[in-house]
């Protein structure tokens, strides 16, 4: 693990007049959400009374070809669809947890695509099993559907059942459900993960990020509110807001690193947040230098912000190899040491003899950063001043990122001076926590800063990072 990963991205589309091929639009939208997960992806399509679904390990272009895509709508009108991309913890590449998951319950088919991570699941699972539930995965999504199916038995509609079920769900979840007559978007009361909706002609679309709606040519309407249940039917769009109104805790790391810069979340532009982070960094940690270099791709925006604020020119000092994918082979130790340079090559005449401000979004273990600084020195850099556009993170996250156990986090073990020496920089500056909380201009929500501060917005006593990612059924 040398960087932090988001768990998932979700997308849904509900046609009202068969204007669009729901599978095709979902396919396109998943491309725009691919940064949220490259381990597996899937699309489920409602074809009249049945649901066709393809999920596989791999990225969108790995999994879908023309034949597969058209097979999804071969059996019916294909007017409603659900899509999912998934990241997963190390080694957890089990196909069975791929989404969307397609199930059936008393009222017919029910399909789900979820982003987030629940806490206190063991208790809930125990309760369901002691009433006769049978599970086929460890996925939160399956448990959510089981819970809704139970509540549905005594209620007159599914949104009431969801609203009741939400009272038993703790943690992060942004999910979309597809039923025989509805497409339903649900965001947890804390609003940990983003979720928004818009229009594409006469169709309604729901997505993890606004960039997906914009990319397919749609029109962003608004974010789903924390706690909101948004229901889209053939005739109507309406909300259940029974669970709204709690203190929110949107993940600030969406703005730091996870989301795409062209997304706007809860009113705040992600790109603008990163420019601000760079600006605040320049104010908090100024330095005399010749050029500001961002570590591609995630450090570029903040580097421009730093350059604009400081007056030091922005420059391209590192060239990223666009072809290195998941399958990069490094058999020898020597190769592993050199892997940083294969991925990021210093651009000689931009570096040589220069004093460099090097900007990145975070430091996890510090080893990649150290190798990079070594390479820049070999390329002739005179000074290297490392600037990080977020505070040191020192606490595990239980809400859907894979920030691993403490012993992998360098900031848990070393203080800032020690980290600076470890990575070999001339100086090191992290963004302050107060600045961090201010980067998202115009945000309509409050933020979770637990990874920096340890102040968790829900009770995580008894949570165990490792447990969350055990892959098999016990």
Q: Which of residues 203-262 bind a second copy (CB under 8 A)?
A: 211, 214-217, 260-262
Task: Looking at residues 396 to 455 of the shown chain, list those that interact with a second copy (rule: CB under 8 A).
Answer: none
Q: Which residue's CB is nearer to a second copy, number 311 or number 461?
A: 311
Task: Looking at residues 154 to 213 of the shown chain, list those that interact with a second copy (rule: CB under 8 A).
Answer: 211
Q: Which residue's CB is nearer to a second copy, number 157 or number 349?
A: 349
**Nearest in space to 218 (alpha carbons), one of 441, 73, 442, 11:** 11
Classify the phi-psi angles of 181: left when phi > 0, otherwise alpha if psi is within -120 to 50, otherwise beta: alpha
Which of 341, 367, 427, 453 touches a second copy (CB under 8 A)? 341
- C-alpha angle 157-223-84 in degrees, rounded to nearest 5: 75
Enumerate the active-site residues: 8
Q: Which residue's CB is nearer to a second copy, number 5 or number 190?
A: 5
- The verdict on 31 binding a second copy (CB under 8 A) reads yes
- The verdict on 333 binding a second copy (CB under 8 A) reads no
Task: Looking at residues 33 to 72 of the shown chain, list those that interact with a second copy (rule: CB under 8 A).
Answer: 34-35, 38, 49-52, 59-61, 64-66, 69-70
Least separation, in Å, of the C-beta of 110 and a second copy? 8
Pairing of strands 427-430, 383-388: parallel
Which of 3, 16, 92, 109 touches a second copy (CB under 8 A)? 109
Q: Which residue's CB is nearer to a second copy, number 130 or number 461?
A: 130
Which of 308, 367, 427, 453 touches a second copy (CB under 8 A)? 308
Least separation, in Å, of the C-beta of 409 and a second copy? 27
Report the C-alpha gap between 287 and 420 in whole angstroms. 15
Task: Looking at residues 265 to 304 of the shown chain, list those that interact with a second copy (rule: CB under 8 A).
Answer: 269, 271-272, 297, 300-301, 304
CA-based torsion, 174, 270, 202, 83: positive or negative = negative
Give CA 178 to chain center in angstroms.
21
Least separation, in Å, of the C-beta of 145 and a second copy? 6
Per-residue CA distances from 354 to 38, 278, 345, 351, 391 (Å): 37, 20, 16, 5, 27
Task: End-to-end CA distance of the chain: give it in Å, rounded.
Answer: 27
- The verdict on 135 binding a second copy (CB under 8 A) reads yes
Site stretch for a second copy (CB under 8 A), options 21-29, 242-250, 380-388, 456-464: 21-29
Report the C-alpha gap between 454 and 58 in whole angstroms. 34
Q: What is the DSSP string of 85-111?
A: EE--STT---GGG-SSEEEEETTEEEE
Q: Which residue's CB is nearer to a second copy, number 379 or number 410?
A: 379
Q: Are 175 and 141 in contact (CB under 8 A)?
A: yes
- The verdict on 327 binding a second copy (CB under 8 A) reads yes
- The verdict on 345 binding a second copy (CB under 8 A) reads yes
Least separation, in Å, of the C-beta of 75 and a second copy? 8
CB atoms within 10 A of CB 93: 16
Q: Are 53 and 84 in contact (CB under 8 A)?
A: no
Least separation, in Å, of the C-beta of 332 and a second copy? 7
């Amino acid at each position: 693990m040398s960087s932090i990963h988001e768990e998932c991205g979700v997308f849904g589309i509900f046609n009202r007049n068969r204007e669009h091929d729901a599978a095709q639009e979902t396919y396109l939208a998943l491309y725009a959400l691919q940064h949220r997960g490259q381990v597996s992806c899937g699309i489920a399509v409602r074809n009249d009374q049945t649901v066709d679904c393809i999920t596989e390990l791999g990225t969108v272009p790995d999994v879908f070809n023309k034949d597969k895509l058209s097979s999804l709508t071969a059996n019916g009108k294909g007017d409603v669809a659900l899509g999912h991309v998934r990241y997963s913890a190390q080694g957890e590449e089990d196909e069975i947890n791929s989404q969307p998951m397609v199930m059936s319950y008393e009222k017919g088919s029910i399909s789900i695509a979820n982003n987030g991570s629940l806490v206190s699941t063991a208790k809930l699972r125990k309760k369901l099993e002691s009433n006769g539930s049978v599970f086929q995965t460890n996925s939160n999504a399956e448990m959510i559907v089981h819970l809704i199916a139970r509540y549905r038995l005594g209620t007159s509609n599914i949104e009431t059942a969801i609203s009741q079920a939400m009272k038993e769900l703790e943690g992060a979840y942004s999910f979309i459900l597809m039923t025989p007559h509805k497409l339903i978007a649900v965001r947890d009361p804390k609003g940990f993960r983003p979720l928004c909706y818009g229009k594409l002609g006469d169709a309604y679309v729901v997505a993890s990020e606004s960039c997906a709606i914009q990319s397919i040519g749609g029109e962003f309407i608004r974010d789903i509110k924390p706690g909101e249940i948004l229901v889209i039917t053939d005739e109507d769009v309406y909300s259940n807001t029974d669970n709204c109104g709690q203190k929110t805790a949107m993940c600030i790391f969406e703005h730091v690193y996870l989301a795409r810069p062209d997304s706007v979340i809860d009113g705040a532009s992600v790109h603008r947040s990163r420019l601000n982070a760079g600006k605040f960094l320049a104010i908090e940690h100024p330095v005399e230098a010749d050029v500001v270099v961002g570590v591609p791709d995630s450090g570029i925006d903040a580097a421009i912000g730093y350059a604009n604020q400081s007056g030091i020119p922005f420059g391209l000092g590192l060239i990223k190899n666009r072809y290195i994918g998941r399958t990069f082979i490094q058999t020898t130790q020597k190769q592993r040491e050199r892997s940083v340079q294969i991925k990021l090559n210093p651009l000689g005449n931009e570096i040589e003899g220069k004093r460099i401000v090097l900007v990145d979004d975070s430091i996890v273990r510090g080893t990649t950063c150290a190798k990079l600084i070594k390479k820049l020195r070999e390329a002739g850099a005179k000074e290297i001043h490392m600037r990080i556009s977020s505070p040191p993170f020192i606490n595990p996250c239980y809400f859907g990122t894979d920030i691993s156990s403490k012993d992998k986090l360098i900031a848990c073990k070393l203080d800032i001076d020690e980290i600076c020496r470890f990575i070999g920089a001339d100086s090191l500056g992290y963004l302050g926590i107060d600045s961090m909380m201010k980067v998202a201009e115009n945000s309509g929500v409050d933020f979770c800063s637990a990874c920096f501060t340890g102040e968790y917005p829900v009770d995580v006593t008894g949570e165990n990072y490792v447990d969350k990612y055990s892959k098999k059924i016990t």
